[in-house]
A and B are shown apart, each in its own frame.
Chain A
Amino acid sequence: MTRSEALPHYVESSRLEHFVNYEVLGKTTLRVQRWRDQWKLARRRPRPNSPLNPPLRSVAHMKEIMSRHYLEGRYAAGVRKVAWVTSGAPTEPLQALGYFLVYPENHAALCGVRRKAQGIAEEAEHAGWSRDICSYARTDIGAMISGKTPAGRLPRPDVLVCCTNICQTVLHWYRVLADYFECPLVLIDTPFLYQEAHDHEVAYVKRQIEDMICVAEEIAGKSLDETRFRDVMTNARRGAELWLEVLNRSQHRPAPMTAFDGFIHMGPIVDMRGEAVTVAYYERLIAELDERIERGIGAIKEERYRVLWDNLPIWFKIGDFSKWLAERGVNVVASTYTFAWGELAPMIDPSQPLDSMARVYLHPILNRSTGHKLASMRRMVDEFQLDGVILHSDRSCKPYSLGQIDQRDRLVKTLGIPALLLEADHNDPRDYSDEQGSNRLEAFIEMMEPRG
């Protein structure tokens, strides 16, 4: 029996569709779009009325990479096994097994940036989900039940992998997905680290990763190739190291990129860590940042205040905030959120993949104590020579937000720098008041004036 005879008809048609629409037409179109974007960016001159310098040229490459990823997703079903995973899930074995990975959180953020999240989340609310649950979850559940998405189409999952190292919300969210898609849910439960990790916590996570690999192998119908797995781990480490370097470039004055740029450029390290394309992309981005540093070009034209952003971004306001703050000489140069995908790079050890994965996936900032987050913020204030901290009190992200009131008080009292609690939501515009937010930010900037 030949290979094609062994395959069901729909798989063959899926492969053809994948080849034509993704491999040939899709990739070519996106490459042409990238050339066009690069051409436009290369010819773009600083706008006299804009407080921002021209965007990074690399953004054209990132747009191509991310669009290609979402485009492949449209045609992945029947060609590759599909796993829907949380942003902190140990995905390296899945990548080595050839899975196509969908990150519902990233998809929800995409909806937020495109300002489509509210309408999609309302689909979930009309179906009974409360406005008090995470707006990412509402956006994705809304997309799932209505089919509405700016990404075109998300492939149906063969397996769901939920890791609780970012929040407990994902467990409840993924139970809903499992009920809807009637597919297996693999749970990687990561005990919250109030202090340092204990041996039994590391052993627990390692064993669950081993169990996940068994399930993933069974669904994929093949065994994990150790060499391929090590390659993915090597790329994951290198990608994370480079991402950390990208972020640390903003220690320079003026900072060559803002944290708002970082929120956008983090796409590849979240969605495609472990892939060579991510490594290549961040090498390119670093080269461009170094060029900016050498030429003394900052992300904003007049950098008077340097600020830290804590928590997720307010996706639907990224552009507005970036401009509004830059107009007032504020450059948000660092964020605790974007660092989460880089700071653990030294823990990734491709020669001991499972042991190191167990440690890495236990230690994201969101799985560590409120005291540890405060220590991270203090370190960043020092390393980035910051003048203030904006703590986004994110109604939809309780593990990130609870503790911020005491963190703010300590930043103000012990470091003597202004710190603002800004009430909003990462994806739901109904939970942010422009007028109130602007007033509070104005007052915050006034507090920084003696430092400017």
Chain B
Amino acid sequence: MEIWGPPHVERHEGSRHFQAYTCDIVVKAMSFIRSGGLDATKAILVPHTCDALQGMGSVLGDFLQPDQRVLTLYLPRGRRSSDHEFLRRELGRLARTLVEVSGHEPCRDDWDEAFEAEDAADAALADLYRRRARLAISDRDFYTVVRSREYLTAEQFCDQAAALPEGEAPQRGVGLMISGIVAEPALFDQIEAMGAYVAGDDLACGFRRVYSASAEADPLERAANRLLTSPADPTCGTPIQVRVDTLQTRMRALGARGLLIYDPKFCEPELFDVPLLRKHLNAAGFPVLHVEFEMGDRLPYQTLSRIEAFVETLS
């Protein structure tokens, strides 16, 4: 199960360990862990994608030492052969630790079965994005299913994705592309109420996780390939121009008229790119709006007004 700074969790428990300038995802995840939200688990895996998550993994392991084993995974910031080789070995290290934690040593059939299920779920997620315009569900419902990939098993996710009704998508008005880390459900309702819809996304919890299947026989090789073929992503070091080109191509194909960058406060990996995304996309005829938010809080009126004005200018 994945934790993306769960909503309805207060910052105060996490704030005992992290300064006020730390992003909500980390502080609230820490609050959630400290309040017993993950007591049912045997291990907590903290991926290394930014300085804030690095701090969280380190503080958890060094100082707080919860009952669960704290595991880490360093995700390389490039897509070179050296990154591939490193990630394969890093995944091997993680796998050995998981064997210790679970007491189960997977055999070849176990690996094959797991990959088959995960590949199917990856394909189902990719297919959801391909079929978006033919799914008779709101943006809120669509992203509820997309994000269920974070907590459902691969098989359950496939069933849920397959059950979505086909028909005319209730997408009316101005098409927007959303970029950032995570968008909470209320945003989709607000966008719909403003006369717009989400034509596509570049969210860390959304499209950036559409992985390609790999046919490698070695399970670690296959897992490394899968992670390193994810779409353009600043936390993976994708050059800005590649991000711009990818966004432009997708926005044209999906009919998005503008880009809404929706970032949690203090998210450096996202913040650095904003001025250049704006510059390059504006030059290509795509207006850009950047807003920051605090997770779990109701969207401030001022933020909503800015998004509303942005939608109006695109109409």
Cβ-based interface call for A167 (8 A): yes
B252-281 Cβ-contact flags toward A at 8 Å (1 or 0): 000000000000011011011111101100
A residues less than 8 Å from B86 (CB atoms): 191, 200-201, 203-204
Contact partner, B51, options A393, A395, A399, Cβ 8 Å = A399
188-215 of chain A: CB within 8 A of chain B? 189, 191-192, 194, 198, 200-201, 203-204, 207-208, 211
Tally of contacts, chain A with chain B, CB under 8 A: 154
Interface contact A402-B271, CB-CB below 8 Å: no
A103-111, A172-180, A285-293: which lies at the interface: A172-180
B residues less than 8 Å from A395 (CB atoms): 19, 21
A173 to B93, CA, bound (A): 30
- Give the size of the chain A interface in residues (CB under 8 angstroms): 49
B42 to chain A, nearest CB (A): 19
A393 to B50, CA, bound (A): 18
1-48 of chain B: CB within 8 A of chain A? 16-19, 21-22, 48
Interface contact B55-A172, CB-CB below 8 Å: no
A residues less than 8 Å from B62 (CB atoms): 369-371, 374, 403, 406
Interface contact B54-A192, CB-CB below 8 Å: yes
Contact partner, A132, options B58, B64, B89, B271, Cβ 8 Å = B271
Cβ-based interface call for A8 (8 A): no
Interface contact A130-B274, CB-CB below 8 Å: yes
B residues less than 8 Å from A173 (CB atoms): 272
B72-80, B154-162, B295-303: which lies at the interface: B72-80
Contact partner, A402, options B48, B59, B90, B272, Cβ 8 Å = B59
A132 to B269, CA, bound (A): 11
A residues less than 8 Å from B55 (CB atoms): 370, 398-399, 402-403
- Interface set of A (CB-CB < 8 Å, partner B): 127-130, 132-134, 137, 164, 167-169, 171-173, 175-176, 178-179, 185, 187, 189, 191-192, 194, 198, 200-201, 203-204, 207-208, 211, 369-371, 374, 393, 395, 398-399, 401-406, 410, 423
In the A-B complex, the 4 residue pairs with the smallest Cβ-Cβ separation, listed nearest first, are: A402-B55, A128-B275, A371-B62, A200-B89
- Interface set of B (CB-CB < 8 Å, partner A): 16-19, 21-22, 48, 50-52, 54-59, 61-64, 72, 74, 76-78, 80, 82-83, 85-86, 89-90, 92-93, 234, 237, 239-241, 265-266, 268-269, 271-276, 278-279, 292
Q: A398-B22, A405-B19 are in contact. List 18 more A-B contacts (CB 8 A).
A: A134-B268, A172-B268, A173-B272, A175-B237, A179-B240, A185-B239, A187-B78, A191-B74, A194-B58, A194-B61, A200-B89, A211-B80, A211-B82, A369-B61, A395-B21, A405-B16, A405-B17, A406-B64
